[in-house]
Amino acid sequence: MTLKIGIIGGTGLDQDTELLQDKREVKVPTTEYGDPSDSVVIEGTISGVPVAIMGRHGRNHNISPSNVNYRANLWTLKHTLGCNIILVTSACGSLKEEIKPGDLGIMDQYIDRTCGNRQRSFYAVSHIPQARPYDPKLQAILEESCKELGYTVHPGLTAVCIEGPRFSTLAESRLHQSWGAHLANMTTVPETQLASELGIPYAALALVTDYDCWHEDEHESVTVELVTERLRQLSIKAKAVLTVAIKKLAQLDLSEHIKAKEQQAKAAIMVA
């Protein structure tokens, strides 16, 4: 099995092509689920591994979290471009003092607090398991890569996915803290679930930009200006981590692992 990695770049990374060698633009068609976030995907290689980068919010960053066509994006990466591993980045607010703005995190669980309007399945009925929504093998590789680069990284994080695009109220932020969640995020649902339905090993690198709105230091409370500035710094770290992680993936034979994911996905479909 030939390894091909899809990267979904969130806010601050988007379609950043500095990661790639031999880069080129590839036009992608509409899908049966509609148009992906952009009609053009950037392809190239990292350490000889084929890679495709898609911006989650479009190249002009004009698609809100609620309006991202997650189904079309993932369908394009797997079925149009042939990706069999997906790594993503996602801007997040911290709900814990020890998870500081500027740190990196490895998502492990999510709590869905979206409003139910997002298209979250490819099928009429698919009982896809989500006990471990993120792939443990990929999680470990991302964590190792962060540590090798000397970056502060927090593994095993739970993200509350809010609808957005507004930020949380103080009451909501405190509620999410009371649940033991580590991060607030706007895009991990339904992206993670849909990757599972397609049988693609998927992992998410959290870019911690702020302390949401609960922190006593108002200068660290979430604002567009703060998030934008932090993401300039975090995007440098994210690109380095992804580069190291893909070098590690190139040394592994993941064919049986990928096949097992695909079989689990097929078994979950009750009504296509």
Cβ–Cβ < 8 Å for 181, 81: no
In terms of Cβ atoms closer than 10 Å to its own Cβ (0-12, 13-18, 19+), residue 230 is buried
What is the maximum span of the chain, computed from C-alpha positions, in angstroms? 51
d(CA 55, CA 53): 7
* Catalytic option among 108, 210, 217, 253: 210
Q: Does 210 participate in catalysis according to the annotation? A: yes
Cβ–Cβ < 8 Å for 145, 244: yes
Residues across the chain:
272
Q: With b meaning 16 or more CB within 10 Å and e meaning fewer, what string describes 159-184?
A: bbbbbbeebbeeebbeebbeeebbbb
* Catalytic option among 108, 212, 217, 253: 212
Distance of CA 208 to the CA centre of its chain: 13
Radius of gyration for the chain, computed over Cα atoms and rounded to the nearest angstrom: 17
Q: Does 212 participate in catalysis according to the annotation? A: yes
Q: What amino acid positions are annotated as catalytic residues? A: 210, 212
